[in-house]
Amino acid sequence: MACPVKHYDAAQDGEQLDDEAGMLYGEYLMLDKILQAQRLLSEESNKAVHDEHLFIITHQAYELWFKQIIFELDSIRDIFGVVLEEIQTLEILKRLNRIVLILKVLVDQVMILETMTPLDFMEFRNYLRPASGFQSLQFRLLENKLGVKADNRVKYNKNYTKVFGNDEEALNKIEESENQPSLAILVERWLERTPGLEVEGFNFWGKYENAVNLLLEEQKQNALNEPIESLKQYRLNDLEKRREVYESIFSSEIHQALLNRGERRFSHKAFQGAILITFYRDEPRFNQPFQILNLLMDIDSLITKWRYNHVLMVQRMIGSSQLGTGGSSGYQYLRSTLSDRYKVFVDLFNLSTFLIPRSYIPRLSPDMRSKLCMWSNGVEPNGVTGNGKCGLEIEDNGFEEDIV
């Protein structure tokens, strides 16, 4: 029986518009172009292979997301390119975070293509030769714009431009992406300006070096008090190694040598800025910079994860000794790209080597403390009055007063 009470259903309101009203969904998104762009080569050869459709859609989805990442990356580089106003860091955070989320989707998307079996792939692989992801222009632009240096690429990848032959437009884009400051270079310049590094001012680096020496000295005394001789020697040897590791950041010559070998990427000053931000991340002015550093690591980490997932998929599809359709050794070549050479922000990962316990972190001077409460233009965040007391108090460890 029908309900006697008449309901007013707002959900059924409204009139459907037709194209006289203006541009509609399909037109705005140019779906006629996108949805017509799946050309199955197997179908054209009268032997349609079902999974080729997925293969094409997956690659196209990747390329669309690459495009969005490059779009965000270019805009972030523009903001970093002029001297960064701190008020803009929130926008940078928002866009970096967006890149990170897209990359997470890209890492997971590999699984969808893995629903195709090697036998299915074999049925159409020959049709697509010599096409290969190796020829993805956007992927190379992405690497270059992030800061992958030509020198750090593995041998087979060094002359990656060759695949673009006489394509002037592609070659120009690549040249531009190699020559313009990458995100890594812009971040390096930004870190070099971290407040607190001034030798005449807070002199973080001098204070930090003294704190490390004090820590190592105390640990040495503890080791010397160790009654078991073999354990004592073990601890002393270990300490000697720790001292050498620290020396690699305190000596600008050693740092430079590591830079020349590609084992470090940031300038000495930028490296110091990153450590400074990491230690004092609870101070209001360093909250966002610290988050930026974390997101940069996330980007490196997710691209490495994508490379890894892609390598695993390649091994599953073509094994470890078949050549790629692009002509490389296939799995073996791709595996070699998993190394730190392709991690643009590898220094940020390695910062953990140089952390010291909280109780040894040099206490902020009142001047430095109040500086970190304010934006660089003198305005305090959240209207807090200037008593230099925002952020977390680092416990008084009683030794930094002696430190020059």
Question: How far is 92 from 86, CA to CA, in rounded Å?
Answer: 10
Minimum distance of ligand HEM from residue 180's CB (angstroms): 21
Residue 284 binds ligand HEM, judged by CB under 6 A? no
* CA nearest neighbour of 173 among 140, 150, 146, 148: 140
Q: Pick one of 80, 124, 134, 246: the residue that binds ligand HEM (CB under 6 A).
A: 134
Contact map string, positions 249 to 278, toward ligand HEM, x by CB under 6 A:
------------------------------
Residue 69 binds ligand HEM, judged by CB under 6 A? no
Stretch of residues binding ligand HEM (CB under 6 A), selected from 2-10, 128-136, 233-241, 396-404: 128-136
Q: Pick one of 128, 133, 341, 380: the residue that binds ligand HEM (CB under 6 A).
A: 133
Residue 305 binds ligand HEM, judged by CB under 6 A? no
Tokens matching residue 341: 């050479």
Residue type, 234: Y
Q: Pick one of 317, 348, 361, 374: the residue that binds ligand HEM (CB under 6 A).
A: 317
Report the helix count and the strand count for the chain, using DSSP H and E: 18, 0
Task: Pick the closer one to ligand HEM by CB: 144 or 337.
Answer: 337
3-class SS of residue 321: coil
Residue 344 binds ligand HEM, judged by CB under 6 A? no
Residue type, 224: L
Question: How far is 353 from 21, CA to CA, in rounded Å?
Answer: 62
Stretch of residues binding ligand HEM (CB under 6 A), selected from 171-179, 257-265, 318-326, 355-363: 318-326
**Sign of the dihedral defined by the CA atoms of residues 370, 373, 378, 379, in that order:** negative
Residue 62 binds ligand HEM, judged by CB under 6 A? yes
Secondary structure letter of residue 10 according to DSSP = G
Residue 113 binds ligand HEM, judged by CB under 6 A? yes
Q: Pick one of 58, 161, 248, 336: the residue that binds ligand HEM (CB under 6 A).
A: 58
Minimum distance of ligand HEM from residue 164's CB (angstroms): 13
**Sign of the dihedral defined by the CA atoms of residues 73, 74, 76, 77, in that order:** positive
Task: Pick the closer one to ligand HEM by CB: 134 or 286.
Answer: 134
Total residue count of the chain as it appears in this document: 404
Residue 314 binds ligand HEM, judged by CB under 6 A? yes
Question: How far is 206 from 210, CA to CA, in rounded Å?
Answer: 6
Q: Pick one of 132, 161, 350, 376: the residue that binds ligand HEM (CB under 6 A).
A: 132
Stretch of residues binding ligand HEM (CB under 6 A), selected from 5-13, 176-184, 279-287, 325-333: 325-333
What is the secondary structure of 328-376 as a DSSP string? S-THHHHHHTTSGGG-TTHHHHHGGGG---GGGSPPPPHHHHHHTTS-T
Query: What is the signed CA dihedral for 128, 131, 137, 140, rounded to 10 degrees?
Result: 120
Minimum distance of ligand HEM from residue 121's CB (angstroms): 5
Question: How far is 372 from 392, CA to CA, in rounded Å?
Answer: 11
Residue 84 binds ligand HEM, judged by CB under 6 A? no
Residue 195 binds ligand HEM, judged by CB under 6 A? no
Minimum distance of ligand HEM from residue 129's CB (angstroms): 9
Residue 157 binds ligand HEM, judged by CB under 6 A? yes
Beta carbons within 10 angstroms of residue 174's beta carbon: 18
Question: How far is 174 from 156, CA to CA, in rounded Å?
Answer: 17
Tokens matching residue 373: 């409460």
Residue type, 386: G
**Residues 315/331, Cβ–Cβ less than 8 Å:** yes
Residue 333 binds ligand HEM, judged by CB under 6 A? yes
Residue 318 binds ligand HEM, judged by CB under 6 A? yes
Rg (CA), the chain: 28
Minimum distance of ligand HEM from residue 167's CB (angstroms): 17
Residue 164 binds ligand HEM, judged by CB under 6 A? no
Q: Pick one of 38, 43, 48, 59: the residue that binds ligand HEM (CB under 6 A).
A: 59
Minimum distance of ligand HEM from residue 54's CB (angstroms): 10
Residue type, 41: L
Contact residues for ligand HEM (CB under 6 A)? 58-59, 62, 113, 121, 132-134, 136, 139, 157, 310, 313-314, 317-318, 324-328, 330, 333-334, 337
